[in-house]
Amino acid sequence: MKELVDRFSDALWEPGKHRISCIAFLLEIHEIMILKGLSEFDDHLVDVLISEFRKKNNRNATINRKLSALYKLLKKAERAGMVKRLPSYVRLPEKNGRIRFFTLDEESRFFEAMRERNEDHYRLCVFLVDTGARVGEALGLKWGDVTRDRATFWITKSGRSRTIPMTARASDAVFSQMKPVGPFADVEYPRFLYDWNAVKKKVGLEKDKQIVPHILRHTCASRLVQAGIDLRRVQSFLGHQTIQMTLRYAHLATNDLDQCVMALENFTAQDRQDADSPVTQLLAAE
């Protein structure tokens, strides 16, 4: 396992948090293989790994991420002729937990307190909630990546760049202060997180464990779906690699379901009208 990681990790994952996580997963698998005396990449290995991960109280979503890193590595090794056959694996079902997002009142109180504490961190919050960008994507922006109404993210979790339009508020957050290198290049994430937790406590939300910076991305997605934007567009806007990620927000599209009721009522009304027509009655009599 270590040999495969050393040989292929640089080619498979770009430098960053995602790469670090994937390598950590693979080294964890390596340790399990040593402890269990396993040396083959077969179906039995997958069964053992799932069992060991569950002993650690890993959820299915976490197990899927760990095995996904393993499969990506093994596919690369198979193409290089180092692995003869890939083990079979059916992705474990994942439960969709409650997705927390800011209400307008919560956003207003939180952002106001953040602005009083740190103007740059406030600008970052505004940009994140109106673009749905990940924190790392925003911090990696250079001035050549933004115009007055567009932002291009080159460093993304999926590895696919994307360009999205910006709201007037997001644009103001980008261009209100012309920092060197990029709009948020001076922001240090540990300091931003420290201020985030301080503001969270100040506005009385310190007990809510789901209020982390990623909630701004959830908030953006939720608002898009609630506004009636179709899920494929939401997927492209957020840069989700699969539609399954976007489907977590599908239940919020309540307005779309209202259209179903209207269609049924219109169909029933038309059906009744046709039934009461003289022609229909005449045909029925015959």
Structure tokens at 77: 């090794």
- Per-residue confidence (pLDDT) for residue 55, from 0 to 100: 95
Distance of CA 235 to the CA centre of its chain: 9
Q: Which amino acid is at 195?
A: D
Q: Nearest to residue 199, comparing CAs of 216, 186, 176, 184?
A: 216
- Per-residue confidence (pLDDT) for residue 270, from 0 to 100: 60
Distance CA 154, CA 142 (A): 10
- Per-residue confidence (pLDDT) for residue 268, from 0 to 100: 64
- Per-residue confidence (pLDDT) for residue 281, from 0 to 100: 56
- Per-residue confidence (pLDDT) for residue 283, from 0 to 100: 47
Distance CA 229, CA 143 (A): 29
Assessment of whether the complete model's pTM goes beyond 0.85: no
- Per-residue confidence (pLDDT) for residue 271, from 0 to 100: 60
Which residue, chain included where needed, has tokens 């760990």? 66
Q: Which amino acid is at 203?
A: V
Listed in sequence order, the residues at least 6 apart from 249 whose beta carbon sits closer than 8 Å to its beta carbon are 99, 221, 222, 224, 225, 231, 234
Write out residues in the chain with pLDDT < 50, as ranges.
Answer: 279, 282-283
Give me the residues paired with residue 150 across strands.
Answer: 165
Q: Nearest to residue 188, comparing CAs of 133, 120, 119, 110?
A: 120
Distance CA 99, CA 104 (A): 16
Phi-psi region of 102 (alpha: psi -120 to 50; beta: other; left: phi over 0): beta
